[in-house]
């Protein structure tokens, strides 16, 4: 029986089986990719994201009915003079079929990642987050029983909630920013039995996010000419590029990759600066001067990753270059006005990161970077918070530990996490 998929390293060209593998065994500085046995997209009669399971690196599925929802915009499209604007919405909007109860497209990443780890039997996931990703993994933990260790900045702790109780979450808050949480999470993974989720290196995360492109292409019957998304790490942009390449190879959706239009929130825009300068490397003192002060000033702080997968083979730079892409630096005032416009025309509220993407779409239409008859895909990565607050229960995830930035993972702190780990039963109820 042939394998459903293999992993491919674009650095050395090697193909090999997946053992929850995050890095090339030969040490290449490249993002591994999935190569599926099925070259044509085949839909499954399964809930939510798992209708696309033929192109997800998992064998089973979860009984969670949450996936992206695509529709033809009328109000926003008319306001911007666009005749073919597809919105793919990932959030809570029951009238449109949007059932992501955490209101974020991070659920597209969390579901297949948790399942992949459960199927490979590798241990307990550790996730570092600025808020939305952590909430999504907490929600999937609540719905499946899979234990997770989530590390977030203390300032983001109030974003960690679920719609059913989540008893198997070890939440650690760090007095610092997102990068401090990443650093401490790396230390937590030194404990045997705890496995790094992997970020952009995780093919389940990227292929899960890639279902946005799959859903939109199926809805429109073709690949878009242009794709808009706000990025923090840029993993969503990479995922869109990879999914589009699979759809081109499928042969039924067009032969041209969509142009990636990716945006960041001023004043923290390291990838924008590197792209405009034509550099494959991000230079911290040039591209993110006064990083801490800049991070504090953005509207969408989930977009403030200091270590994005920019220069790695198959990373954000390559995705932009392959698609003839463009990047946008979006100010807070433009973000807020774009969010208000979207809510007025489409009748749903947006996550601030999604409002950054809308602002970049507005600018592209005004400045002629897209044409009125182009087929456009707007990836709305989160929204529906107001409606979810009305309809759903919310259970705050209480911190298990609170640590300082730079604090060593040793002594009582290490013992506490070890004690929590000993109490867990590593099982996913699929």
Question: Binding site for pyridoxal 5'-phosphate, residues?
Answer: 132, 381
Instruction: Pinpoint the alpha helices (H) of 288-326.
Output: 291-297, 316-323
Cα–chain center distance at 415: 32
Q: Containing H/E element for 378?
A: strand 375-380
106-120 and 132-144 helices, crossing angle to 10°: 50
CA gyration radius, the chain: 20
Cα–chain center distance at 153: 18
Cβ 31 vs Cβ 316: under 8 Å: no
Distances (CA, A) of 352 to 71, 177, 265, 331: 21, 18, 10, 12
Cβ 67 vs Cβ 364: under 8 Å: no
What contacts 41, CB < 8 A, 6 or more positions away? 52, 54, 55, 214, 218, 246, 247, 250, 252
Q: How many distinct helices (H) and strands (E) make up the chain?
A: 15, 18
The binding site consists of 132, 381
CA distance 103 to 132: 9
> Which two three-digit tokens encode residue 74?
């009328």
Say how many C-beta atoms besides its own lie within 10 A of residue 255's C-beta.
9
Q: State how beta strands 92-93 and 98-99 pair.
A: antiparallel
């Amino acid at each position: 029986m042939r394998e459903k998929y293999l992993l491919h390293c674009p650095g050395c060209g090697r193909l090999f089986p997946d053992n929850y593998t995050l890095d090339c065994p030969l040490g290449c500085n490249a993002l591994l990719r999935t190569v599926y046995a099925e070259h044509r997209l085949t839909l499954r009669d399964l809930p939510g994201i798992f209708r696309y399971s033929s192109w997800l690196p998992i064998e089973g599925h979860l009984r969670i009915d949450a996936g992206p929802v695509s529709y033809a915009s009328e109000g926003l499209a008319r306001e911007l003079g666009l005749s073919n604007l597809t919105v793919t919405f990932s959030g809570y909007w029951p009238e449109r079929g949007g059932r992501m109860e955490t209101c974020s497209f991070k659920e597209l990443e969390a579901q297949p990642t948790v399942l992949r780890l459960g199927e490979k039997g590798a241990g307990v996931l550790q996730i570092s987050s600025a808020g939305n990703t952590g909430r999504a993994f907490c929600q999937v933990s609540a719905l499946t029983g899979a234990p997770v260790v989530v590390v977030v900045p203390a300032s983001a702790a109030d974003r960690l909630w679920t719609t059913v109780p989540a008893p198997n979450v070890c939440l650690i808050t760090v007095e610092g920013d997102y990068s401090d949480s990443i650093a401490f999470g790396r230390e937590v993974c030194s404990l045997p039995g705890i496995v790094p989720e992997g970020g952009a290196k995780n093919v389940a995360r990227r292929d899960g996010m890639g279902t946005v492109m799959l859903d939109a292409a199926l809805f429109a019957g073709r690949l878009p000419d242009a794709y808009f998304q706000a990025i923090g790490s840029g993993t969503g942009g990479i995922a869109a590029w990879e999914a589009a390449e699979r759809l081109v190879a499928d042969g039924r959706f067009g032969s041209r990759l969509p142009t990636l239009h990716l945006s960041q929130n001023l004043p923290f825009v390291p990838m924008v600066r590197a792209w405009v300068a034509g550099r494959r490397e991000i230079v911290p003192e040039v591209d993110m001067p006064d990083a801490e002060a800049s991070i504090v000033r953005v509207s969408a702080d989930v977009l403030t990753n200091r270590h994005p997968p920019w220069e790695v083979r198959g990373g954000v730079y390559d995705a932009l270059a392959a698609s003839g892409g463009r990047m946008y630096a979006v100010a807070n005032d433009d973000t807020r006005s774009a969010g208000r416009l979207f809510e007025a025309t489409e009748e749903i509220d947006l996550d601030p990161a999604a409002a950054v993407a809308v602002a970049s779409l507005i600018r592209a239409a005004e400045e002629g970077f897209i044409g009125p008859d182009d087929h456009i895909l707007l990836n709305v990565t989160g929204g529906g918070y107001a409606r979810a607050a009305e309809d759903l229960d919310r259970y705050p995830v209480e911190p298990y530990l609170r640590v300082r930035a730079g604090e060593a993972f040793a002594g009582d702190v290490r013992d506490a996490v070890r004690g929590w780990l000993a109490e867990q039963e590593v099982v996913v109820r699929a």
